Amino acid sequence: MESEDDIIDDLVSMEDDFYSGDFSDYYDDPNDEDNDYYSDGDDDYGLLEDDEDDQEAVVSRRDQLGYTVLKEADIKQRQEDDISKVSTVLSISRVDATLLLRYYNWSVSKVHDEWFADEEGVRQTVGLLETPVVQVSNARELTCGICFESLPRDNITSAACGHPFCRTCWQGYICTTINDGPGCLSLRCPVPSCNAAVGQDMIDKLATIEEKKKYSRYLLRSYIEDNRKTKWCPAPGCEFAVDFAVGGGNFDVSCICSRNFCWNCTEEAHRPVDCNTVAKWILKNSAESENMNWILANSKPCPKCKRPIEKNQGCMHMTCTPPCKFEFCWLCLGTWSEHGERTGGFYACNRYEAAKQEGVYDEAERRREMAKNSLEKYTHYYERWASNQLSRQKALADLNQMQTVQLEKLSDLQCTPESQLKFITEAWLQIVECRRVLKWTYAYGYYLPEHEHAKRQFFEYLQGEAESGLERLHQCAEKELNKFILCDGPSKEFDEFRAKLAGLTSVTKNYFENLVRALENGLADVDSQAVAACSKTTSSKNLGGTSKGRGGRGKGSSKTGGSSRNVDDTSN
């Protein structure tokens, strides 16, 4: 027990030393806002009664700044509402309103602005014609513009422009575009010079049931994918989307399918590490796999939407498939509009050359040496990253087991209502969250620059403390709890246990929140103090006549941690 108290004291003193209370404003009131985000769920956080989905959400609730999880029905509802709004305000059909909204990425205000600024222009660009461009003759037969057959009028259909095509050709045309992908949402009349839009009314009239389904699927997807404020939850098979209020500095969101992910890069939630580091880390982890080798050798990601693109023909001027349509240079992946004289031609793209030249400056020997070291270094961090990942999964499973079986049992055994056993669930939720943070600190550590000794040492110290604090909590929630589950009847020590576990939970929670903040700051708080401590040691060394600067790295290490001396001592 004593050692535990020590740890708790350490953690608390840590806080006082380095973070002097500037977190409070950040984390103070998660509960006030929470109810807004999950307004469709239960009002109170009756953890034990809720299904597990909601509980996962609670894991990261303190990180939330503002987002809503949308189910398919919600998405449809919002889409319908937006269409109705535009249709009413502009007095146009719902079909036209849909076309307009899609063109302007489902931004109602943008549609209004553009429309009222220049209705004619908008009609022209989106292809909403008011009158046919072709005078329909009174002839009994018309010639279809695709199969060139003369057919009775009944068989001929046109978009708003009046260009005549037979039903069969329309069906073929619509079927081909729908099967080509979401580009079918901006379908135009087949006449190349005509830009009349083909809307959902035509699709409904002419497409098969299967195609109509696809079309409305694309329309729904477009509402999420083209909208800047919404994204799909990246979990496989999950059909929920997240509406994110851009503005906060934190991108972690948790879907009600229980997936926690980063809204910015859609990888799993990765605070305190930033998105770029995560992307590098994930690429590195999978770099060895065959798949990755093939993708790297044969494709490049679109610089805008990141979908891998295989180039199988044509020139270097690439145009990503709709809806992205980003134009870029295959060689340097720069935007195409910047190409031409400035890059000195096309196959001889300057930026590509420049990148190659940079590589030339590396001395071959140094590189070989570094490769070996870096592999060892990588293995070190990867193993720890992966083991925390595993540990988190185990903890999730345990949490589940706890909620479904153990708590009930424990409640009977200790004669305590389940509602009073919340602290156990909370402890496990905290463990799951801490494992996640801890895991990502290893990616953070891997990319922390070698030469920033003070930062590295401090980081490793913080990480070590986090690791042991979490172990303490994990042990308590796992092993010590077991005693009470296995015993025969109510135990007096249960109240003590409750206090201890709740205490550890809260202390660990605080510590990890501080850790996350510190790492997100790039250890800025720590830097000044640690450097100060560092310069103190070096200056004292200088007095002693040794070399300058940060030279004595090995020896200095224990002293550079001087700013945290009190903790060093106690943990020894």
Partner 1 sequence: MQASRARLFKEYKEVQREKAADPDIQLVCDDSNIFKWTALIKGPSETPYEGGVFQLAFSVPEQYPLQPPQVRFLTKIFHPNVHFKTGEICLDILKNAWSPAWTLQSVCRAIIALMAHPEPDSPLNCDSGNLLRSGDVRGYQSMARMYTRLAAMPKKG
- With residues binned 3-state (H G I as helix, E B as strand, rest as coil), the percentages for the chain, rounded to 5, are 60, 10, 30
Enter the DSSP assignment of 129.
-
Q: How far is the CB of 105 from partner 1 (least distance, A)?
A: 21
For the question of residue 315 being annotated catalytic, the response is: yes
Strands 299-301 vs 241-244: parallel, antiparallel or unpaired: unpaired
Residues touching partner 1, count (CB under 8 A) = 27
Structure tokens at 354: 């420049």
| Closer Cβ to partner 1, 129 or 437, answer by number | 129
Q: Give the SS3 label for residue 149.
A: coil
Instruction: Return the residue of 93, 105, 186, 319 that touches partner 1, per CB under 8 A.
Output: 319
Choice between 190 and 445, CB closer to partner 1: 190
Is 158 within 8 Å of 165 (Cβ atoms)?
Answer: yes
- Return the residues of window 162-221 that contact partner 1 according to CB under 8 A: 168-169, 172-173, 175-176, 190-192
Q: Which of 302, 315, 349, 434 is catalytic?
A: 315
Closest CB to partner 1 among residues 122, 169: 169
Q: Which of 7, 65, 145, 158 binds partner 1 (CB under 8 A)?
A: 145
Residue with tokens 């790492």, as numbered in its chain: 519
Count of CB atoms situated within 10 Å of the CB of 418: 17
- Sole binder of partner 1 in the list 108, 257, 316, 413 (CB under 8 A): 316
User: What's the closest the beta carbon of residue 392 comes to partner 1, in angstroms?
Assistant: 45
Read off the amino acid at residue 82.
Answer: D
340 touches partner 1 by CB under 8 A? yes
- Is the separation of the CB atoms in 394 and 24 below 8 Å? no
| Class of residue 436 by CB neighbours under 10 A (exposed 0-12, middle 13-18, buried 19+) | buried
Which 443-472 positions form the footprint of partner 1 (CB under 8 A)?
none
CA pair distance 236, 244, nearest whole angstrom: 20
| Min dist. Cβ of residue 307 to partner 1 (A) | 16
Instruction: Mark 389-408 with x for binding to partner 1 (rule: CB under 8 A) and - for no binding.
Output: --------------------
Lookup result for tokens 């496989």:
236
Nearer to partner 1, 232 or 326 (CB): 326
Q: Which of 26, 27, 336, 447 binds partner 1 (CB under 8 A)?
A: 336
Amino acid at 492: K
The span of 23-31, 220-228, 340-348, 379-387 binding partner 1 (CB under 8 A) equals 340-348
Q: Phi and psi dihedrals of 510, rounded to 5?
A: -60, -45
Cβ atoms of 127 and 103 within 8 Å: the answer is: no
* Minimal distance, residue 191 CB to partner 1, in Å: 5
Say if strands 150-152 and 156-157 run parallel, antiparallel, or are unpaired.
unpaired
Q: Which of 559, 555, 510 is nearest to 530 (CA)?
A: 559
Identify which of 162, 161, 139 has the alpha carbon closest to the alpha carbon of residue 151. 139
Applying CB under 8 A, among 73, 139, 288, 347 the residue interacting with partner 1 is 347
Chosen residue from 46, 152, 308, 345 binding partner 1 by CB under 8 A: 345
* Least distance to partner 1, CB of residue 148, Å: 4
Looking at the Cβ atoms of 97 and 187, the one nearer to partner 1 is: 187
Pick one of 12, 136, 147, 386: the residue that binds partner 1 (CB under 8 A). 147
Q: Taking CB under 8 A as the rule, does residue 310 contact partner 1? A: no
- Nearer to partner 1 among residue 306 and residue 317 (C-beta): 317
C-beta of 164: minimal distance to partner 1 in Å?
Answer: 11
Alpha helices in 226-325 (DSSP H): 275-286, 290-298
Instruction: Please state, in angstroms and as integers, the Cα–Cα distance from residue 175 to each residue in 170, 202, 222, following that order.
Output: 8, 12, 19
Give contact residues for partner 1 (rule: CB under 8 A).
145-149, 168-169, 172-173, 175-176, 190-192, 313-317, 319, 336, 339-341, 345-347
The residues annotated as belonging to the active site are 315
